[in-house]
Amino acid sequence: MPNGGLHHLHKRKRQTKKLEPIPHPEPFKRFLDHTIYVVCILTPMVVLPQVWKIWSQQNAAGISLITYIGLIIGNIIWVIYGVVHKEKPIMLLYIFFFIANTAIAIGRILYG
């Protein structure tokens, strides 16, 4: 089995990592642990006025479809990264951004 020894070395490295507990015992870090979930929900909301404008006015003039397709691809990669590393804040943030950016891209296709 090729690289069998390296696999066990990698497993041993992961087991000996000294990771910080969650929630963290320090008040500031614990505050950040909880605050990041609020940020994950509120940050994508800055895109909602753009979504509202496109869909309510049925006009997407000046919106670059290529830009939003690029953002959607980036969002998908970030969601995969969050899933692989089991990082819920990253998954939440980029799922919300994916939804908002997809709504803008669809609006651009329909009303552009």
Query: The domain that contains 74 carries what CATH number?
Result: 1.20.1280.290
- Distance between alpha carbon 34 and the CA centroid of its chain, in Å? 17
What is the domain count for the chain? Answer: 1
Q: Which domain holds residue 73?
A: 22-111
For 54-86, give one letter per residue: b (16+ CB within 10 A) or e: bbeeeebeebeeeebeebbeebeebbeebeeee
Which single residue is written with the structure tokens 């969050």? 82
Residue 92 lies in a domain: yes
**What average pLDDT score do residues 18-37 get?**
83
Least confident of 59-63, 69-73, 86-90, 99-103: 86-90
Global pTM value: 0.75
Per the domain annotation, does 1 fall within a domain? Answer: no
The whole-angstrom separation of Cα 46 and Cα 9 is 45
